[in-house]
Each structure stands twice: as C-alpha cells, then as structure tokens.
Amino acid sequence: MTTTSSTQRVRTGRVTFFVALAVFAQESTWNLYDSQVPPLLREHIGSAALIGLLMGMDNVLGIFIQPWMGNRSDRTRTSWGRRMPYLLVGMPVAALLFLVIPHVAASLPLLIAVMFGYALVANSFKPIAESLLPDFVPPERRSRANAVVKIAASLTVMVAALISIFLIDTHPKLSFAIPAILMVVSLAVLAANVRDSRSPAYRTAVDGERDQDGAAAPAARVRDTVLDIVRDADRSRLLLIASILLFGGAWAASRALITPYGMEALGMSRGEAGGLTLPSGVAFIVAAYPVARLAERFGRLRVMAVGMTVFAAGMVLGTVVRTPTGAVIGLCVASAGASAFLVNAVVVLWNLAPSDQVVGTYTGLYTVGWVSGGFLGPAVVGGLVDLTGWPLLLLHVAVIALLAVLAVARVSALQCRSTAGRAL
C-alpha cells in the first residue's frame, strides 16, 4: 500500500512538473505582452483608457473561446488524450504571431491585427494546459500542485522583467523572440513526455463510454453548464466566478499599466519601468507553496480572502510611498498576497464541479472570469487614471481588489452553511 502511494505521488509530481512547463511556455509570452505592448500602443495613442481597452480587448475573445475549447477538449478522444492535440497545434502558431508583434509596431492597424491574432490563438489553448492538472492530480493535492504551476508562471514574470531591463531598449525585436523560442522548446519537452490518455480522468471517461456499450457519453454543453451555475440556489459558484472577474481586473490593471505608471508617475525610462515587477516575481515564488499548505490546513476560501486583502494593502503602500523603491515594495507585498488567490481559486472551482468529466469546461469558466477582468480592469482603471492622474493608479487597483474580497467572504459563508466539513 505504501509503495503504491509513493509511486502515485511520484507520478503526479512528474505530471505537475510538465503541466507547469506548459503554463510556463504560455505565460512567457503573455507577461512580456502585458509589459511591453502598452508602450508600443502609446507611440500611437495618448489616452490611458484607450490603451487599457486595447490591452484588455484581446481578452474578451477568451470569454467566448475558452469555455468552448475547454468543453471541446472534455469530449475529445485520441491516442494523445483529450488535451495534448490542441496544445501541439496552438502553441507554435501563437509563438509565431508573438514573434511578429515588434515587426509591425510602426503601423497601428497592423499592430492591432497581430495582437488580435495572437490573442485568438493563445486564448484557445490557455485553459487546456491547466486542465491537465485535475486530470492527473486528486482533489486533496491540487492546491500544492497548482502552487507549482503558479510558481512557473511567476518565473515568466521575472523573465519578462529581465528582458525589459536588459534588452527592450536596445534590442526590441530580439526581446520578443526569446519568449517565442521558450514556448516552442517547452512544447517539445511536454510533447515528448505527456500523454493525457493515461490520466485517471481520461480513463474514467472512456470506461464510462464502454459501460454504455460503446455509445458516446452525453456530455454537457457549455450552455447547460452555465445555466446550471446561474440557476443553482446556492450561489457559491456564481459568486466565485464574480470574485475571479474582480480580482482578475485588479491584477490585470496592476500589470498592464505598471510600465506607463513608472514612466509617468515615477519618471523612469521604459526599460526601468518594465523591470518594476521583477522583485515581485520573487515574492510570489516564495509565498506560493506556503499559502497552498496553509489553504489545505485552514481552508482555501479563508486563505484567499486574507491574501487578497494583503494585495490591496500592497497597492495602498505603493501609493503612499510614491518612489520606485516604494512601488517595488508595494508590488512585492501585493504579489505575495495575490498568490493565495491565484493558487487556490481555480482549485475551489474544480472541487465545486459536479464531476471530473467537466473540469475542462470549469477551467474555461475560470478563465472567462479571469479574462473578463483582464478586459474590464485595465479599461476601468485607465479611465480613473484619466480622471485623477497616474499617481493614484495603485489605489484604484486596491479598491477593485477589496470588492473581490467581499465576494469570496460571501462564498465562504455559503459553504459553511451548506457543506459542513467539506474541504474546498
């Protein structure tokens, strides 16, 4: 029994590493995109609100694409499994489109067109890689596994910051080539090592179909899943998605607008401002695994609420101490707090799903909430900046984060009433 448990732990640990690698591949492009595309837009556009809208508008594609693609992957059956085929096609195309961005930056229409193409492809496979995790990892260990995945994502924040500091001012085209190459290399390693047709969730789905004499199992449509969430008298899932939207908006605004904030409010160069997030990446890495363990001990919802409050406090600190050092410290505090939400929110949503056969759809719904926040947050905060000035950017972000805290607190209260003793 002990040997079997140890073997399973090694297997899930290995899969967790490769899922983290897949997410690293995706986020390596997304983070440089968030950091350095706004200055490219700023060469053509003066309004912070419009820049924020364009930086968020690509994410609105995810509202329609990601749940559908997650649901589609739930239904797919191949020798590679149900997730890998989409990654093998989507990731190289996204890398190529990302590589093209600085080459078309002189023309605003071409720049927007390539941004749209990149967002369309990258959003199509974004929830699929993350869905590999619950396919292989049991519910009780998902926070720890997801912490490893989020640490990998945080490393890409540091990669983007280092590229901004050392390369973006002198070699802008090479700067975009590096994450694109990282994506292709990471995909090659992932493809050589992972067949999600071997995952417990995939085998369960296939066995269920065999039990029905080979008939295809009736899979819930995205529309049916959404209606189930909306009509449920227990509003936990709906409120959780709302909190994901709100906190996603706060996070996206703090990332998409931080480079122009450093330039306008702190008097930094473009490269220096792009490096403001580098230390916060370290803070996230340090905090991610401990908050996963704390969540398993004290409850995921409780730890999420505390972490989001710490995030807001970091934003307030950065506003009060209006210097590059103050901004870096505030971002570090905020990132440490944000790790509690980023590690646990999707795990709570997975564990609220009616079965593992729809985890791809639920991952898509998580990303709908997140990218909806990514669409609205930078635009709303950018509009507030147009009214009040760049120095108050971080304070506006803090207010949105506190609204998300209220939503999570309500989910926690509902779960205490309806699922006594259940670990989310």
**What does the block give as tokens for 33?**
């995109």
For residue 101, give the DSSP letter: G
Gap between the Cα atoms of 303 and 300, Å rounded: 5
Collapse the DSSP code of 175 into the 3-class scheme (helix H, G, I; strand E, B; otherwise coil) and give the result.
helix
Neighbour tally for 293: CB within 10 Å: 13
Q: What would the two tokens of residue 301 be?
A: 């919802």
pLDDT, one tens digit per residue, over 145-179 is 888 888 887 777 677 777 877 887 778 888 889 88
pLDDT of residue 345: 92
CA atoms within 13 A on the CB side of 255: 28
For residue 354, the 8-state DSSP code is: S
- pLDDT class of 424 with cuts at 50, 70, 90: low
Decide if pLDDT at 281 tops 80.
no
d(CA 368, CA 362): 9
User: Encoding tokens for residue 337?
Assistant: 């707090």
Any alpha helices (H) in 194-267, and if so which ranges? Answer: 200-211, 222-231, 236-256, 258-265
Give me the pLDDT at residue 2, please: 44
Contact assessment for residue 26 and residue 129, using Cβ atoms and an 8 Å cutoff: yes
Given a cut of 80, whether residue 52 has pLDDT beyond it is no
Mapped onto helix, strand or coil, the DSSP state of residue 219 is coil
Query: Rounded distance, CA 328 to CA 334, Å?
Result: 10
Burial of 417 (0-12, 13-18, 19+ CB in 10 A): exposed
Q: Are 340 and 304 in contact (CB under 8 A)?
A: yes
φ, ψ of residue 80 in degrees (nearest 5):
-85, -15
Task: State both tokens at 143.
Answer: 């926070």
Q: What is the pLDDT of residue 418?
A: 66
pLDDT tens profile 205-226: 676 666 555 554 455 677 888 8
DSSP conformation class of 329: H
Residue-level length of the chain: 424
Question: What average pLDDT does the chain have?
Answer: 83
What CA–CA distances, in Å, run from 280 to 14, 169, 189, 284, 304?
A: 27, 22, 28, 6, 18
Taking the C-alpha atoms of residue 251 and residue 326, their distance in angstroms, rounded to an integer, is 18
Q: Per-residue pLDDT tens for 378-410? A: 889 999 998 999 999 999 999 999 999 999 999
The CB-side HSE value for 405 (13 A sphere, CA atoms) comes to: 18
d(CA 111, CA 119): 12
- Of 283-287, 334-338, 370-374, 385-389, where does mean pLDDT reach its minimum? 370-374
